[in-house]
Amino acid sequence: MVNPLRGFISEEGALFASIDGIGIKLHEERELAGLVSKVLDVLLGRIEPITIGGDTLSVDRQSAELFFSRNADHLPGIISKEMPLKEKVLRLLSEMMKESQTGLPLGLFEGVAVGGEEGKQLIIGTVPHFFVLFEALEQNGFDLTHFRDEITEISPHEFVHFEREDFLDQIAERNSPLFEKLTFDEGIQEVQMFARLLIDRIKKNIEAQSDNLD
């Protein structure tokens, strides 16, 4: 999966069409105009570029405003008229992701893209998505206090991301002393797989340190 918004694009190419059967149109660049056309469309306010994890979607501004006006009664407490368009789209995205099957951040495993080329090695989600992951790992004996502290002051509707390799390395380093108590038995399959990945990394680090001492 790329930009998480792409997971909510219908076969007809409309964003969030599952809500009202119409959704939001996405801007299609005119082939001959290319970059100049896109810049003009942004300057003139015809499109709203929304970038997550290095991957950009261009939302048709008029279509989006009509969508939120049309569905205002269905989104109480989620969207307000005063919000900028980009915030409205990302707020709705975060709410819909909460209703996904796992509730976990995207991109936990290598090779699962969550953005363009720059985002393929990112783990990305809202703060609640990460707290779901942290709680699940804690049930398997992991200590995620450092990461909880790092994002606890961030708005729950904001998207945050970690470089996957750095994220794995930091968890492995901080949990090496707990190695004998760690398990991968608790939680849904994705959590168990991720916990096992972390345990394997910790084990390799411990073995490498042991070899260096020899």
pLDDT grade for 53, boundaries at 50, 70 and 90: confident
Burial 26-37 (b: 16+ CB within 10 A, else e): bbeeeeeeeeeb
The arithmetic mean of pLDDT across residues 46-61, rounded, is 85
Q: What three-state secondary structure class fits 56?
A: strand
Of 206, 191, 119, the residue nearest 159 (C-alpha): 119
16 and 4 in contact (C-beta within 8 Å)? no
φ/ψ of residue 23, rounded to 5 = 75, -160
Q: What is the pLDDT of residues 88-141, one digit of tens each?
A: 998 888 777 765 667 888 778 875 555 555 566 778 888 888 999 999 999 999
Q: Give residue 1's pLDDT band: very low, low, confident or very high (50, 70, 90).
A: very low
Chain segment 12-26, per-residue pLDDT in tens: 889 988 788 899 999
pLDDT confidence of residue 203:
94
> According to the model, what pLDDT value does residue 155 have?
76
